[in-house]
Amino acid sequence: MLELSVRDKAMLSGELGEGAALAMRIVAATAHVMNAQELVDVSSAHIDGCLYHGSVSLDFVERFVASGTRVAVPTTLNVGSLDLIHPELYRGKAEIANAAKRLMEAHLELGCEATFTCAPYQLKHRPRLGDQIAWAESNAIVFANSVLGARTSRYGDFLDLAAAITGRVPNAGLHVTENRAARIVLEAPSFGDSPRRDACFAALGFLLGLNAGATVAAITGLPVDTTEDELKALGAAAASSGSVALFHAVGITPEAPTLDAALQGGEPERTIVVTEADLVGIHRKWNGARSSEPLAAISLGTPHFSVDEFHTLGKLFEEHDGSPRCDFYVNTSRFVLWQIEAEGVAQQLASRGVQIVVDTCTYITPVMKQISGLVMTNSGKWAHYAPANIGVTVAFGSMAECVRSAFEGRVCIDELAG
């Protein structure tokens, strides 16, 4: 039996407005489905629903706008279907662009922040260990749970906005401590010194998703100097190939100082040993195209590129003369763009032929000039979704291999062992 607070009941009865009543009906119905006995407060929300999928998504948000509804907690927005900073990049139908722009603007009228990023954890204010939040977007969910130690279940379109308006979510799923215990163990191979290290993290994440599904896993054997960007790549790939919302990197992430802590004192249901040959297999899966095909473009930054990744990219460009021999795109947030503009990094890369895309991503929005031929990426998420989404053939490599390939005009991947 779901027990509602006085404020919950006031929202449900319409005392706090028509929009709040609708939102609470959605949250309460979800709680019943999840067998939650109560709701809990959240300190922030991240909305995935500002990506235009048709009129129903806009109609839903416009209903809240018309009733004067506002979000109750700080709320960030995921990517939309347009780069509002560079609208000229959009290559789709005008009527869709207009509806997509309106959807993004409508969320702002509800009091959401104009972040438009799939990596809200890169913003100045982000959740802390133990914070209860309501985040949507698969890679943001897994990062918040795993790397930050905040607590969110997987919230999708409509429910995410309802949670932001009510400030409440069902006390179930990964909001509950015992549900965060690892049930399987994934033993990673040693790849700490690999020149293809970033690609190895993406491949390991893809294997994690394939093997774990929605089950919480503890990963052992990762390098002690593993970075947030590497965990970002791992989590994004795992959430793409499976439904991973939380993993524990033993000795690295906050809820896993030890394997026993990650397991919460229990025994694993199974242990999966990943070999170097397994990672090679994933790399080859993403490189099934013939090497003779022309290289149309490079696309990096799925999830959105960080400042540190831009610094690395800048150094890699310094190793080459001239400009790339194919289009070169990097997806990022407007806030990261402003930081690298202040440093001069954005201008340097632009002068070398790099097109920075903000507010959206090249695998979901018609931005790329050329998709006939191979498009190369270092992102497991991009490699997984782009072929079906925009009809491209994918090549996969490390960031360094992507840069080298761009200047060679062909896919250049180091010889893979295994």
Is residue 240 within 8 Å of 385, Cβ to Cβ? yes
Tens of pLDDT, residue by residue over 362-406, are 999 999 998 888 999 999 999 999 999 999 999 999 999 999 999
User: How is the chain split into domains, by residue range?
Assistant: 6-178, 182-284, 288-408
**Interval 236-264 mean pLDDT:** 98
CA distance 395 to 383: 8
CA distance 87 to 195: 37
pLDDT surpasses 90 at 136 = yes
| Cβ contacts of 150 within 8 Å, gap of 6 or more | 127, 128, 129, 130, 131, 132, 133, 135, 144
How distant, in Å, are the alpha carbons of 194, 315, 395 from that of 320?
A: 22, 10, 21
User: What pLDDT is recorded for position 292?
Assistant: 66
Tens of pLDDT, residue by residue over 57-104, are 999 999 999 999 999 999 999 999 999 999 999 999 999 999 999 999
> Going edge to edge, which strands form the sheet with 327-332?
354-358, 327-332, 295-305, 374-377, 393-396
Tens of pLDDT, residue by residue over 170-227, are 999 999 999 999 999 999 999 878 889 999 999 999 999 999 999 999 999 999 999 9
Q: How confident is the model at residue 414 (pLDDT cuts 50, 70, 90)?
A: confident
CA distance 392 to 386: 6
Share of the chain above pLDDT 70, in %: 98
User: In terms of CATH, what superfamily is 288-408?
Assistant: Aconitase, domain 3 (3.30.499.10)
Average pLDDT, the chain: 95
Residue (of 228, 220, 204) closest to 258 by Cα position: 220
Residue (of 18, 87, 103) closest to 54 by Cα position: 103
| Least confident piece of the model among 2-16, 176-190, 268-282, 283-297 | 283-297
User: What pLDDT is recorded for position 331?
Assistant: 98
CA distance 5 to 318: 59
What the block records as the tokens of 263 is 């397991």
| Least confident piece of the model among 25-34, 92-101, 344-353, 407-416 | 407-416
User: What pLDDT is recorded for position 415?
Assistant: 64
| CATH architecture for the domain at 6-178 | 2-Layer Sandwich (3.30)
**Interval 330-339 mean pLDDT:** 98
- β partners of residue 355: 329
First-to-final CA distance of the chain: 55
pLDDT surpasses 60 at 418 = no
User: What pLDDT is recorded for position 291?
Assistant: 59
Tens of pLDDT, residue by residue over 94-131, are 999 999 999 999 999 999 999 999 999 999 999 999 99
Same fold for the pair 6-178 and 288-408 = yes
Q: How confident is the model at residue 289 (pLDDT cuts 50, 70, 90)?
A: low
Is residue 392 within 8 Å of 384, Cβ to Cβ? no
What the block records as the tokens of 234 is 């791992």
Q: What is the 3-state secondary structure (H, E, C) of the chain?
A: CCECCHHHHHHHHCCCCHHHHHHHHHHHHHHHHCCCCEEEECCCEEECCCCCCCHHHHHHHHHHHHCCCCCCCCEEECCCCCCCCCHHHCCCCHHHHHHHHHHHHHHHHCCCCCCCCCCHHHCCCCCCCCCECEECCHHHHHHHHHHHCCECCCCCCCHHHHHHHHCEEECCHHHCHHHHCCCEEEECCCCCCCCCHHHHHHHHHHHHHHHHCCCCEEEECCCCCCCHHHHHHHHHHHHHHCCCCCEEECCCCCCCCCHHHHCCCCCCCEEEECCHHHHHHHHHHCCCCCCCCCEEEEEEEEEEECHHHHHHHHHHHHCCCCCCCCEEEEEECHHHHHHHHHHCHHHHHHHCCEEEEECCCCCCCCCCCCCCCEEEECCHHHHHHHHHHHCCEEEECCHHHHHHHHHHCCCCCCCCCC
pLDDT surpasses 70 at 2 = yes
Is residue 203 within 8 Å of 233, Cβ to Cβ? no
